[in-house]
């Protein structure tokens, strides 16, 4: 990944200024997210926010919230299908058959997901800059040329969810361990009308087609509209970061994922004709220096609601479960790549979002060679937008008039975002079974 040193500088300085430099569980978002979630009715959860809260972040210091991010609830649900339980002898065969169906359906979903990712990466490599500008993320591609793959994934996801619901109902009725019975019952999708009140641990999410659907609840410490009030009230949590293209930095080596990451986020980007493109001209200028300042920032905690049994996951990770409950043959709590493990980097339930790092009113000053500026400024003159790592200015978020000043052989650009939308630039990552009570 290019400009890894700049991402690392950004990573370490944001970490030090928002959550404390010693915290290793921070993930920088490579595709920054504007908070523009709509106000929803009481008992509902906005879809855009739900997609973030319910994600299972990649094992990387730099991440993205895209199609390939696993759903935490589905992964947690799957863990229960990897356990062996005591049930009545006449029901044991039924349980085994249902677990086999879930495994087969999940394997098929994994195949569809892999096929879609492979097809997109091939198209990305062969399509050149035009393709990249039109379909910068796999989600964009799946909504267009890759829609057939999306249809496959949607249908198979529905099949997996249906089988998991059947499983939860089965265990809640016929299991012999009261804890597992209760946990399974909490995972069962409510059967009541969607117009009624949400049961404990559940909420309603409006889908892209306008319909409401039951969804497991995630508790967010501060709701979106409250972020605005808190962040716009003053300079609480304001900070600046200084970036130098030719300076090395090893901050990401000490993150939870170490230096192991492969997400190909671009650090410098321009918004041209409504889409973000890599600013290769700035990439190649080793003299670039920049300062990014935010007016205020906050850390918003996120946690799964009552349907999540963190204590049970901790016991499972330590092989401390009783009552004859254990992992199915071939499965282990943690293990290396290629193993059948539940927790940790290669596990079924590897991570969850435990907090959102949110900033307000970022501004920047960036100095580069005048020849660098001359080589790309025409691309952004009509529809200006600039991305600096996890910060965006302009594009879809609004922007002040940018000031351009040339002195000798260098040019300096300065600008302040005029958007009233807070910007999510990172998440805190939790590790089920390993670092939770």
Task: Identify the pLDDT of residue 273.
Answer: 63
Smallest CA-to-CA distance from 160 within 83, 99, 214 is with 99
* Residues with Cβ within 8 Å of residue 172, at least 6 apart in sequence: 181, 182, 184, 185, 188
Q: Answer for the pair 426, 408: CB distance below 8 angstroms, yes or no.
A: no
Q: What pLDDT does 437 receive?
A: 47
Q: How crowded is residue 330: how many other Cβ atoms within 10 Å of its Cβ? A: 8
Q: Using the 8-state DSSP alphabet, how is residue 253 labeled?
A: G
- pLDDT tens for the 437 residues of the chain, in order: 457 788 888 888 888 888 776 677 898 887 778 776 777 777 788 888 888 889 998 888 888 776 445 689 989 988 988 888 777 778 888 888 888 898 899 889 989 988 998 998 888 878 877 787 788 778 778 888 999 998 898 889 889 888 888 888 888 787 777 888 888 888 888 877 888 888 889 999 887 777 888 899 998 875 555 666 666 666 578 899 999 988 877 677 778 877 665 556 788 888 766 667 788 888 888 899 999 999 888 888 899 999 999 998 998 998 877 666 788 888 999 999 889 999 999 999 999 999 988 888 888 999 999 999 888 777 655 556 788 888 877 755 445 567 889 998 999 988 877 777 788 889 999 999 998 64
Contact 176, 323 (CB under 8 A): yes
- Residue 158's pLDDT is 85
Asked whether 241 and 9 are in contact (CB, 8 A), the reply is: yes
| Domain ranges, ordered by start, for the chain | 4-64+218-299+352-430
Q: Which single residue is written with the structure tokens 């609830």?
A: 73
* pLDDT the model gives residue 72: 93
Q: Would you state the pLDDT for residue 197?
A: 84
pTM: 0.81
User: CB of 107 within 8 A of CB of 117?
Assistant: no
Nearest CA to 166 among 194, 187, 139?
187
Q: Dig out the tokens for 237 from the structure.
A: 């949590």
Count of CA atoms in the C-beta half-sphere (13 A) of 83 = 28
The candidate with the shortest Cα–Cα distance to 316, out of 339, 338, 342, 340, is 342
DSSP helix, strand, coil percent of the chain (3-state; round to 5): 35, 25, 40
């Amino acid at each position: 990944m290019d400009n890894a040193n700049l991402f690392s500088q950004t990573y370490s300085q944001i970490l030090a200024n928002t959550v404390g430099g010693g915290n290793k569980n921070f993930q920088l978002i490579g595709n920054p997210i504007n908070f523009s979630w709509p106000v929803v009715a009481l008992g509902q959860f906005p879809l855009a926010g739900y997609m973030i809260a319910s994600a299972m972040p990649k094992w990387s210091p730099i991440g993205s919230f895209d199609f390939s991010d696993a759903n935490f609830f589905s992964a947690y649900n799957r863990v229960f299908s990897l356990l062996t339980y005591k049930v009545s002898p006449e029901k044991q065969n039924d349980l085994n058959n249902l677990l086999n169906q879930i495994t087969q359906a999940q394997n098929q979903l994994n195949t569809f997901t892999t096929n879609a990712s492979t097809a997109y990466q091939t198209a990305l490599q062969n399509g050149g800059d035009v393709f990249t500008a039109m379909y910068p993320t796999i989600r964009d591609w799946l909504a267009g040329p890759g829609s057939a793959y999306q249809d496959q994934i949607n249908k198979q996801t529905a099949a997996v969810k249906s089988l998991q619901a059947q499983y939860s109902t089965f265990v809640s009725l016929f299991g012999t361990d009261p804890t597992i019975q209760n946990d399974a019952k909490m995972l069962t999708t409510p059967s009541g009308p969607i117009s009624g009140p949400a049961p404990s641990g559940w909420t309603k999410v409006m889908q892209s087609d306008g319909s409401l659907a039951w969804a497991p609840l995630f508790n967010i410490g501060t709701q979106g509209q409250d972020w605005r009030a808190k962040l716009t009230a003053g300079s609480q949590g304001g900070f600046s970061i200084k970036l130098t293209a030719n300076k090395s930095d090893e901050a990401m080596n000490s993150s939870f994922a170490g230096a192991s990451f492969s997400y190909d986020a671009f650090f410098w980007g321009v918004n041209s004709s409504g889409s973000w493109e890599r600013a290769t001209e700035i990439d190649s200028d080793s003299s670039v220096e920049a300062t990014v300042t935010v007016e205020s920032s906050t850390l918003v905690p996120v946690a799964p609601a009552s349907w999540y049994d963190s204590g049970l996951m901790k016991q499972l990770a330590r092989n401390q479960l009783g009552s004859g409950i254990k992992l199915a043959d071939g499965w282990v709590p943690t293990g290396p790549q290629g193993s059948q493990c539940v927790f940790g980097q290669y596990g079924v339930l590897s991570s969850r979002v435990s907090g959102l790092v949110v900033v307000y009113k970022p501004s920047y000053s960036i100095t580069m060679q005048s020849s660098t500026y001359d080589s790309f400024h025409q691309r952004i003159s009509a529809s200006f937008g600039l991305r600096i790592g996890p910060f965006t200015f302009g594009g879809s978020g609004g922007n002040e008039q940018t000031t351009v000043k040339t002195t000798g052989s260098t040019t300096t650009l300065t600008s302040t975002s005029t958007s009233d939308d807070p910007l999510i630039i990172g998440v805190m990552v939790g590790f089920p079974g390993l670092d939770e009570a």
